[in-house]
Amino acid sequence: MNEDATSLERLHDITVPPAVPWWPLAPGWYVVSAAVLAILAYLAHRAWKNWQSQAYRRRALAELETATDPTAIAELLRRTALAVAPRASIAGMRGERWLDWLAAQSPQTLTDPVRRQLVAGVYARPSTSSADLTALREFAAAWIMTHQPPQT
């Protein structure tokens, strides 16, 4: 073996430092984690409040499935409107004024057959044909799902 100081046999491998551990985290990661948790909590709270505020729509749609005549559907539309609008402004509306208010709160158009059923069909005999009731039921379902509460 050669005792020369510049000999290649005396060279050693490069010593690598140990890997940086994942834990404990740097303080900045705690701040980021807290911010993410706060944002997630806020979004969850907002989603919960939105779900709760739409409960009247879910109940109305469930009740619409069991409605069998125009009177029941008209009553359901009125109760749904009373859930979002002030009673003083809704309770006094009758006839065409009521239908105009319904049409103004929904992006869907109120067709003439449905309009007739909601005005005169309430006083007609309960033996309305299922085709006519289907159009009324479809309008009511669309109105319940898409109506916009009035701006106060």
What confidence tens digit (pLDDT) does each residue in 28-86 have? 999 999 999 999 999 999 999 999 999 999 999 999 999 988 889 999 999 999 998 88
Average pLDDT over residues 122-149: 79
| Top-confidence residue, 129 or 57 | 57
Does the CA dihedral 117-120-121-122 come out positive or negative? positive
Query: Is the per-residue pLDDT at 128 higher than 60?
Result: no
Number of other residues whose CB lies within 10 A of the CB of residue 106: 17
Query: Is the per-residue pLDDT at 6 higher than 90?
Result: no
Best CA proximity match to 64, nearest among 54, 51, 73, 74: 73
pTM: 0.71
Residue 125 is predicted with a pLDDT of 65
pLDDT tens digit sequence for 95-112: 889 999 998 888 888 888
Query: Is the per-residue pLDDT at 131 higher than 70?
Result: no
Residue 65 is predicted with a pLDDT of 94
Average pLDDT over residues 105-124: 82
